[in-house]
């Protein structure tokens, strides 16, 4: 697929845009693997972020799935419009920013009946996009190409330096089903960072954090080296310090630091700040 991608870029007179994270997939195995992991079926509603040249998009559409995609680059959006829409009326494409349209304008009835996300994400915006996804209606399954560093943060357990607010929000809603390293040679141009394909399945009883809890937790992790008690005392919401006092009663040591506290304890804060 390397040659086809190069010649398509030449034909479009398009230079990959670094700022938009344009590292296009050129490995058919990774495309097939993403679709298999997501268990894509005919009639599935799939969101794709950053369809780019349309390699993954076409493969998704060929399964009979319906795809809602959002692409920021106007030239690529125009190419997709010309290239894919005539053959696949099942593609709904919008030109725009995935942070403004994290669900690519998926209609309400599709949201209610369930949807999945399959995407080779633009790495620079993967965390704010994930944050937006986790605060709204949740996809049943997500298969995402990510920078390894971001995936490590999403999947980190407490006690690790990489454990933070996003680890808590994500693992409270999703089980990590698998994580596969993907070599830089699977993309054109080759990214300078390591990549992984991450497979997430929605938990039976996902916990979603209300805005107040998300804000407090994010604030706490900006000072992760301080003791949790001090941070909770300084929080503008008195409930946060009450939560800390309950933690101590339940046996957590008073000198605990944010990164040492297990996810289930943070989930209690989600209930308290509902
Ligand atoms: N899906 C294609 C593939 O696998 O070959 C392209 C993936 S490339 C890593 C990321 C894509 O996301 C690019 O097409 C880029 O233009 C697009 N993109 C970057 N920032 C975006 C944003 N904020 N919203 C939507 N698309 C974005």
Q: Ligand 1: does its nearest atom lie under 6 Å from the Cβ of 122?
A: yes
Band (pLDDT 50/70/90 cuts) for residue 3 is confident
What is the Å distance from ligand 1's center to 53 Cα? 9
The fraction of the chain above a pLDDT of 90, given in percent, is 94
**Is residue 272 over pLDDT 90?**
no
What is the Å distance from ligand 1's center to 161 Cα? 29
Largest CA distance in the chain: 67
Residue 107's pLDDT is 97
- Bridge partner list, 175: 201
Atom 14 of ligand 1: nearest residue by CA position: 52
Band (pLDDT 50/70/90 cuts) for residue 274 is confident
Residue 18's pLDDT is 94
Say which residue the tokens 């076409």 belong to: 58
**pLDDT tens digits, one per residue of 68-112:** 999 999 999 999 999 999 999 999 999 999 999 999 999 999 999
Residue 165's pLDDT is 97
Atom 17 of ligand 1: nearest residue by CA position: 50
Mean of pLDDT values over 220-226: 93
Length of the chain: 274
**Exposure of 7 by Cβ count < 10 A (0-12 exposed, 13-18 middle, 19+ buried)?**
exposed
Residue 77's pLDDT is 98
Q: Ligand 1: does its nearest atom lie under 6 Å from the Cβ of 71?
A: yes
Residue 52's pLDDT is 97
**pLDDT tens digits, one per residue of 148-196:** 999 999 999 999 999 999 999 999 999 999 999 999 999 999 999 999 9
**Is residue 55 over pLDDT 80?**
yes
- Bridge partner list, 69: 48, 93
Atom 20 of ligand 1: nearest residue by CA position: 20
Q: Ligand 1: does its nearest atom lie under 6 Å from the Cβ of 22?
A: yes
Atom 23 of ligand 1: nearest residue by CA position: 97
Which runs of E-coded beta strand occur in 13-140? 24-25, 45-49, 66-71, 91-95, 116-120
**Is residue 13 over pLDDT 90?**
yes
Residue 2's pLDDT is 87
Q: Ligand 1: does its nearest atom lie under 6 Å from the Cβ of 52?
A: yes
Q: Is 142 helix (H, G, I), strand (E, B) or coil?
A: strand
Q: What H or E segment, with its residue span, contains residue 202?
A: strand 195-202
The fraction of the chain above a pLDDT of 70, given in percent, is 100
Q: Of 141, 173, 126, whose CA–CA distance to 39 is shortest? A: 141
Atom 8 of ligand 1: nearest residue by CA position: 22
For the record, the structure tokens of 250 come out as 């339940």
pTM of the shown model: 0.95
Beta-carbon neighbour count of residue 54 at 10 Å? 23
User: Which of 72, 81, 99 gets mutated to test ligand 1 (max ligand atoms within 8 A of its CB)?
Assistant: 72
Q: How far apart are CA 195 and CA 212, in angstroms?
A: 33
Q: Ligand 1: does its nearest atom lie under 6 Å from the Cβ of 125?
A: yes
Residue 149's pLDDT is 97
Q: Ligand 1: does its nearest atom lie under 6 Å from the Cβ of 20?
A: yes
User: Which of 25, 122, 189 gets mutated to test ligand 1 (max ligand atoms within 8 A of its CB)?
Assistant: 122
Mean pLDDT of the chain: 96
């Amino acid at each position: 697929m390397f040659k086809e991608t190069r010649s398509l870029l030449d034909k479009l007179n398009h230079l990959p845009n670094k700022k938009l994270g344009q590292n296009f997939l050129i490995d058919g195995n990774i495309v097939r693997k993403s679709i298999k992991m997501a268990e894509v079926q005919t009639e599935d509603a799939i969101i794709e972020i950053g369809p780019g040249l349309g390699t993954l998009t076409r493969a998704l559409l060929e399964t009979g799935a319906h795809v809602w995609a959002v692409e920021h680059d106007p030239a690529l959006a125009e190419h997709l419009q010309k290239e894919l829409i005539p053959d696949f009326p099942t593609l709904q494409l919008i030109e725009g920013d995935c942070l403004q349209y994290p669900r690519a304008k998926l209609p309400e009835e599709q949201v209610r009946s369930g949807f999945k996300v399959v995407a080779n994400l633009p790495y620079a915006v993967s965390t704010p996009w994930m944050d937006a996804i986790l605060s709204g209606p949740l996809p049943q399954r997500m298969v995402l190409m990510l920078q390894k560093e971001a995936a490590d943060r999403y999947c980190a357990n407490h006690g690790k330096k990489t454990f933070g607010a996003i680890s808590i929000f994500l693992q409270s809603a999703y089980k990590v089903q698998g994580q596969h390293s993907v070599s830089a040679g699977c993309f054109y141009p080759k990214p300078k960072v390591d990549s992984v394909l991450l497979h997430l399945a929605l938990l039976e009883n996902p916990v979603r954090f209300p805005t107040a809890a998300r804000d407090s937790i994010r604030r706490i992790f900006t000072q992760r080296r301080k003791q949790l008690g001090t941070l909770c005392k300084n929080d503008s919401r008195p409930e946060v310090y009450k939560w800390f006092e309950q933690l101590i009663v339940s046996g957590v040591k008073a000198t605990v630091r944010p990164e040492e506290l297990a996810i289930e304890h943070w989930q209690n804060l989600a209930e308290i700040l509902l």
